[in-house]
Structure 1
Amino acid sequence: MRILLADDEEELTEPVAAVLKKNNYSVDIVNNGDDAYDYLTGASYDAAILDIMMPGMSGLEVLKKIRAEGSTLPVLLLTAKSEIDDRVEGLDAGADDYLPKPFAMKELLARLRSITRRTAETKEVDLSFGDITLDRKKSVLNGPKGSEELSSKEFQMLEMLMLNHDTFINQDTFMEKIWGLDSDTDDRVVFVYISYVRNKLKAAGSKVTLKTKRGLGYFLKE
């Protein structure tokens, strides 16, 4: 699941992003409202966390703008303000929930799960392909010879491959969805993790193979 986190407080965005990534979310971070709007209209996200008070457009302005354009993206608003009028204004603008600062990380995760309930419920369902099953709650690959624990990146990559087993996924798509638009990681990291996933499939005793087709990308084959 891919999240946009928009807040100009670096001391907040770094720990929040770390917690989200640990819970198998991909996170893009921006520190002003103008960039938040550009990212939300230029890429695909599963939810957005917007601080109300940001340079450029405020979180409320970004929210109102994307709602006026027809977006139904789940949005959680963050703010240091706790007055009831501010909460009402945010909810009336189309926010799915509202979380005043400071907050506990557990509460943030709970509220994020709540606003993405439909997607989250789908995410609870294990995925199967050929002789393998992906336990999406535990990030574990189950195969004929046993189970293999997956790192966050391995899990996200295999999940994408299993959800889209009838299509090709190219290197750019993996970079965008898993590492994020702002990642300064060399795109060769995709080849490294493809190798890791292949090794996990082999260790689990699976006959499923991760194939490459030049010019098109990667796909799973039974």
Structure 2
Amino acid sequence: MTKILVVEDDEQMGALIERGLEAEGYEIVRVGNGMDALIAINNNEFDLAAIDVMLPQMTGFEICRRIRDSGNTMPVLLLTARDTVDDRVFGLDSGADDYLTKPFAFLELTARVRALLRRQSMATPLSLELGNLAIDSRDLKVTVAGRSVSMSPKEVALLRLLCSRAGTTVDRTTILEEIWNGTEHIDPNIVDQYISYLRRKIDSAAAGMRIVTVRGSGYAVELVE
């Protein structure tokens, strides 16, 4: 049975989420703070975590960062009433796979959960090399000519998507669907922001590849001689 960790300090909201997900056939472990969440993760194998951002002791952002720092790659869905672009970017940079703002319809929550679980089960091989660039998605490591380049989980995922389709244009809608699990509640400009981050971090000459803008369409990776 699929096991989901729910981290929610509001008893009423937590119980509602727990009952609803159990009705969908999932096994639920529910805790109310960050420390209990990390203990639960250390003692269990979860398929997904749904984490409220505003928690006592430590925020959902910090929990997510600690999950990723430990090497755990399970999908993480952040739940929060904070819906500015900066908040969403911060949450995704913390390692979250999706971001659902409150109040939400329970049908939307279950749809996001199914999408994340489906995406995890259909995951493609995690290692990829292009030119002098190497990507290890499992360990969230990127190297250029053997030199490690520090990147957030979302940056690694976006770079891998573009490199896996080198020579073809990947449009913004596809990027939002693949990396941010949809276009709703996500500012499309976030794609341009992350492309800018990647360009600043990757030396195209050393990597033997570059990210080009296909005006009016999206982005593509091409090899550099």
For the aligned pair, the TM-score class normalised by the smaller chain equals: 0.5 to 0.7
| Residue 70 of structure 2: aligned partner | 69
Equivalent residues in 2 for 1:146-185 (5 A)? none
Residue type of the alignment partner of 1:31: G
Give SS of 2:29's match: strand
Q: What is the aligned residue count?
A: 122
Equivalent residues in 2 for 1:42-53 (5 A)? 42-53=43-54
Question: Could you tell me how far 1:119 is from its partner in structure 2?
Answer: 5.6
| Residue 84 of structure 2: aligned partner | 83
Contact 1:50–1:78 at 8 Å: present in 2 too? yes
Query: Matches of 2:111 and 2:121 in 1, distance apart?
Result: 11
Contact 1:76–1:97 at 8 Å: present in 2 too? yes
Distance 1:118 1:85, change over 3 A: closer
Residue type of the alignment partner of 2:46: Y
RMSD, aligned CA: 1.6
1:125-158 deviations in Å (ceiling 9; x for gaps):
xxxxxxxxxxxxxxxxxxxxxxxxxxxxxxxxxx
The unaligned stretches of length 5 or more in structure 1 are 122-222
Query: Matches of 1:113 and 1:28 in 2, distance apart?
Result: 17
User: TM-score, length-normalised on structure 1?
Assistant: 0.53
Aligned-residue identity in percent: 45
The unaligned stretches of length 5 or more in structure 2 are 123-225
Off by >6 Å, runs of 4+ in structure 1: none
Query: Matches of 2:104 and 2:11 in 1, distance apart?
Result: 15
Which is bigger in relative contact order (C-alpha 8 A, separation at least 6)? 1
Residue type of the alignment partner of 1:29: R
Residue type of the alignment partner of 2:43: G
Question: Could you tell me how far 1:118 is from its partner in structure 2?
Answer: 4.1
| Residue 101 of structure 2: aligned partner | 100
Query: Matches of 1:65 and 1:21 in 2, distance apart?
Result: 26
Query: Matches of 1:120 and 1:112 in 2, distance apart?
Result: 12
Question: Could you tell me how far 1:15 is from its partner in structure 2?
Answer: 1.2
Contact 2:51–2:78 at 8 Å: present in 1 too? yes
